[in-house]
Amino acid sequence: MTTVIRNGTIVTADLTYKADVLIEHGRIAAIGQGLTGDTTLDATGCLVMPGGIDPHTHLEMPFMGTYSADDFDSGTRAALAGGTTMVVDFALPSPGQGLLDALQMWDNKSGRAHCDYSFHMAVTWWDRQVFDEMQAVVDRGITSFKHFMAYKGALMVNDDELFSSFRRVGDLGGVALVHAENGDVVAELSARLLAEGNTGPEAHAYSRPPQVEGEATNRAIMVADMAGVPLYVVHVSCEDSHEAIRRARSQGKRVWGEPLIQHLTLDESEYFNPDWDHAARRVMSPPFRDKRHQDSLWAGLQSGSLSVVATDHCAFTTAQKRNGIGDFTKIPNGTGGLEDRMPMLWTHGVATGRLTPNEFVAVTSTNIAKILGMYPRKGAVLVGSDADLVVWDPEAEKTIAAGSQQSAIDYNVFEGQRVKGLPRYVLTRGHVAVDGGTLDSREGHGEFVAREPRGTVNRALSAWKELTAPRPVERSGIPASGV
Ligand code: URP
Ligand code: ZN
Ligand code: ZN
Ligand code: ZN
């Protein structure tokens, strides 16, 4: 069986042109004019783009005394409904748990995925076992390792652990990821706020000012530079962190920054809403910022100093959020966004003229496929690439509503937002999972995507490290000692 997408305009990270796309055995078999197939999808008036890749999700994750509510079933349905055809989730060992043990847990959960997926591995503690198992993790095709500089007493690693792990990741040819917030300062500020009677969700924002993020981002960049490893900073929310990334990139350091669609479009006023539930539902780390920071993030996407737009999809129900009534530090941190990332970014990015359609493709798909070592299998419209495609209708509109979403939670942080630009068709390895507003996806269709270590950036960095490694100075005539 072959499928052809006819009469559309192909938009990739660097090209825009009219052509049909022929799909066979889940891959792109031909791109050209007048192609025919067993099934025809009409893309008149639409753009044919690589499906979105969301490199930052937490599906069914044990966290803050509960589990995130969307699992690989509802989470990947949400992804497909919004034009995202691949997610990269975080395998998260609890402190003391082996990496391979955690990986087994994530393997078990991910069997329900409706679209393809990969994993990052989190390093939440450090000893010889972790060091050793990192090799086996890379051999499994997981080449990116996440480190939390926040969540003191739980997931946080200290600077010595960070440096050791970064060096190991560098030697294995991987990419280091960081959640960059100064966890010690957050813990101090939180305790003080609670003692002063600041118990509501707004105190979550007070406890994590932009400086907390800027300091940690800069520290992670410097540690990564000393360790000789490429660094990817997740959920960059503010100018303070963006500034550190911008400066590092201008110095030639291999650093990428990832803003979230939530930080690009929602601001800190959400936390001052008199409705406790409204504010608590938006508690995530880092918190939403004032508009000045939003402008910085958009400028970063425009200028290229920020590279990827993700969601950090980590959804909790209102009932789960209410664990934190009377103590904001117990509100589970996280928000949803998987179904809304692409339409929200198109509406607020492309339709406003902040981003070109090609830049949209770059930051939602192609850049991360390259960073994580899976391009051009993913993130491309090329012969031989997986047929993970979205046929995008720039004129289609809807109002975002929790009542019609795939996510399992009972609200949506974008509730009531009008979006223009929606998928007409979404294909996951050739299977048409979305047709108009209808989802026809299959539990278990998703496959694990193994990734290659030692990409071009790693190889360049290794060559430079070797060239500039410390070497003893050759000397003649060393003076006799003790004279
Ligand atoms: O608040 C957030 N971001 N929750 C998910 C875990 C993390 O820090 O990424
Ligand atoms: Zn995080
Ligand atoms: Zn996260
Ligand atoms: Zn079907």
Which atom of ligand 1 is found nearest the CA of 283? 1
d(CA 332, CA 315): 9
The residues spanned by each domain of the chain are: 51-384+448-462
Which tens digit of pLDDT belongs to each residue from 73-116?
999 999 999 999 999 999 999 989 999 999 999 999 999 999 99
Judge whether residue 411 has pLDDT over 70: yes
Collapsed DSSP state (helix, strand, coil) of residue 222: helix
Distance 147 CA to ligand 1 centre (A): 12
Distance 284 CA to ligand 2 centre (A): 9
Residues surrounding ion ligand 3 at CB below 5 Å: 312
Burial label for 288, CB within 10 Å (0-12, 13-18, 19+), is buried
Looking at residue 159, its pLDDT comes to: 98
Do the Cβ atoms of 109 and 90 come closer than 8 Å?
Answer: no
Helix axes 183-195, 210-227, angle to 10 degrees: 160
* Residue 314 CB–ligand 1 contact under 6 Å: yes
Which tens digit of pLDDT belongs to each residue from 243-254?
999 999 999 999
Q: Which residue's alpha carbon is at the smallest distance from atom 4 of ligand 1?
A: 334
Q: Which residue's alpha carbon is at the smallest distance from atom 8 of ligand 1?
A: 285
Percentage of residues in the chain having pLDDT higher than 90: 98
Which tens digit of pLDDT belongs to each residue from 335-365?
999 999 999 999 999 999 999 999 999 999 9
What homologous superfamily does CATH list for 51-384+448-462?
A: Metal-dependent hydrolases (3.20.20.140)
Which tens digit of pLDDT belongs to each residue from 447-467?
999 999 999 999 999 999 899
Which atom of ligand 1 is found nearest the CA of 333? 1
What are the phi and psi torsion angles at 244 (to 5°)? -65, -40
Q: Which residue's alpha carbon is at the smallest distance from atom 3 of ligand 1?
A: 285
Beta-bridged to residue 142, according to DSSP, are none
Looking at residue 483, its pLDDT comes to: 57
Percentage of residues in the chain having pLDDT higher than 70: 100
Judge whether residue 379 has pLDDT over 80: yes
d(CA 298, CA 259): 9
Stretch (H or E) spanning 384: none
Looking at residue 399, its pLDDT comes to: 98
440: Cβ–Cβ under 8 A, 6 or more apart, which residues? 432, 433, 434
Which tens digit of pLDDT belongs to each residue from 220-260?
999 999 999 999 999 999 999 999 999 999 999 999 999 99
The Cβ of residue 242 has, within 10 Å, a number of other Cβ atoms equal to: 25
d(CA 92, CA 64): 13
Which tens digit of pLDDT belongs to each residue from 23-81?
999 999 999 999 999 999 999 999 999 999 999 999 999 999 999 999 999 999 999 99
What is the side-by-side order of every strand in the sheet holding 175-179?
A: 52-57, 84-91, 116-122, 144-148, 175-179, 231-233, 255-257
